[in-house]
Amino acid sequence: MLKTAIWLTVLYYVTSVFASQIPLLADGPRSVQYIDHVEFNSTIKAFMIERNIPGLSLAIFDKSDIVYAAGHGYAKMAIELVNTYHRFRLASISKSITAISIMHLADKGKLNLTNTVFGSKGILKFKYGTKPYTEWEEAITVQHLLEHSSGFVNSDMCGTDCDPTYFPRFRALDQWQLISTLLDEYDPSHEPGTFADYSNFGYFILGRIVEQVSGTSPYETYVREKILRPLGVVDMRIATDQRRNHEVVYYAGADEDDPYEFHVSRRDSVGAWIATPVDLLLISKAIGGFAGQKQLLSDSVRVAMFNETGVPDSHFAKGWTVNVTDGRIRAAWKDGSYQGTSSMLYLDFERNISWAAVANRMIKTEGDFDGSRDLTTLVNGLISKWK
């Protein structure tokens, strides 16, 4: 660990003037204003060194435009600097992309959030699994999946700090096979809508709902054509276990799994999108209700997406976590983290600001570090000084 920190410190000292703010690709017009903010760059560099982060990219939207976009550190250690067009795995920010897609289908009248998912009256009917569905399984709705209240609880399925979607014995399964296997092996432990527990499994199912309702498979195709491209986002893709063009390299600690050996592509609707922070801000300004910005969703559907669930002790909305004070939704965010990745997309409705940050190493939750939430502390702190 000490050797790594020293090596990163030397690298950042040698390349500190190269906080890369020049895009290398020309894939379409973007209104981006670059701010070479000395305090931003020096604070970010110190943050990265302290956490042994090789590369990080950040973009900020303020009221009407993207006002800051910069890459810091290395896309590939000692060889390739991060620039603003490098793509990073988003991890669970992908869930927000899936939620937006579901809400868009609802906005078009293709589904209702109260539609059930499984059984004779469900969207997916009997397409997944081989055993009869339980009463609680047949009661699961689209809204339950969006708000992590389907009744499938990880700790009840496989123990403390466990997630069956990561089991090595299921690694060879694709996303469709995985859903069938998990439905056959596990049942909900709570009545849907009564208990919230963060669920990757639920968002695997939502990806299949996008496919079923839209009539488009795979999920990626529908999202790219109907959600992303109309917003000017043309380079987002689903990750694979190999590096794509203009994608960063991912790094893991000695006690972490290999970022290239966990079948990332099957986590399409759960955690597999790759994008730049600028891509994410083109999305956030189109769904955040910011003044003067053309919106993808109708006002009522957008508000419904950010409304906090009524499930007790939960701050989940639909694809987001929200901060609600005195009945007002003040902010919404989605973080992401797994081996080789930390990410955060943040919408501040009070100040009409949105920002996105991604890194090519997982920030651990230990000691003084708080995982991807450290990105929130970093960036909101910088914005407070700037504003």
Per-residue pLDDT tens for 367-378?
889 999 999 999
CB 357 within 8 A of CB 70: no
Per-residue pLDDT tens for 277-287?
999 999 999 99
Give the global pTM.
0.92
Q: What is the bridge-based pairing of β-strands 65-76 and 365-366? A: unpaired
Judged against a pLDDT cut of 90, whether residue 259 lies above it is answered with: yes
Per-residue pLDDT tens for 157-213?
999 999 999 999 999 999 999 999 999 999 999 999 999 999 999 999 999 999 999
**Lowest mean pLDDT across 233-242, 250-259, 335-344:** 250-259
CB 93 within 8 A of CB 345: yes
CA–CA distance, 112 with 102 (Å, rounded to integer): 9
pLDDT attached to residue 254? 77
pLDDT attached to residue 7? 44
Task: Say which residues have a Cβ less than 8 Å from residue 96's Cβ, sequence separation at least 6.
Answer: 319, 320, 334, 345
Q: Give mean pLDDT, residues 13-19.
A: 43
Per-residue pLDDT tens for 101-154?
999 999 999 999 999 999 999 999 999 999 999 999 999 999 999 999 999 999
Judged against a pLDDT cut of 80, whether residue 27 lies above it is answered with: no
CA–CA distance, 285 with 271 (Å, rounded to integer): 21
CATH numbers and ranges of domains, the chain: 86-387 (3.40.710.10)
SS3 helix, strand, coil % of the chain, rounded to 5? 35, 20, 45
Most confident range, picked from 17-31, 37-51, 97-111: 97-111
Question: What does 137-155 look like in DSSP terms, one character per residue?
Answer: HHH-BHHHHHTT-SS--HH
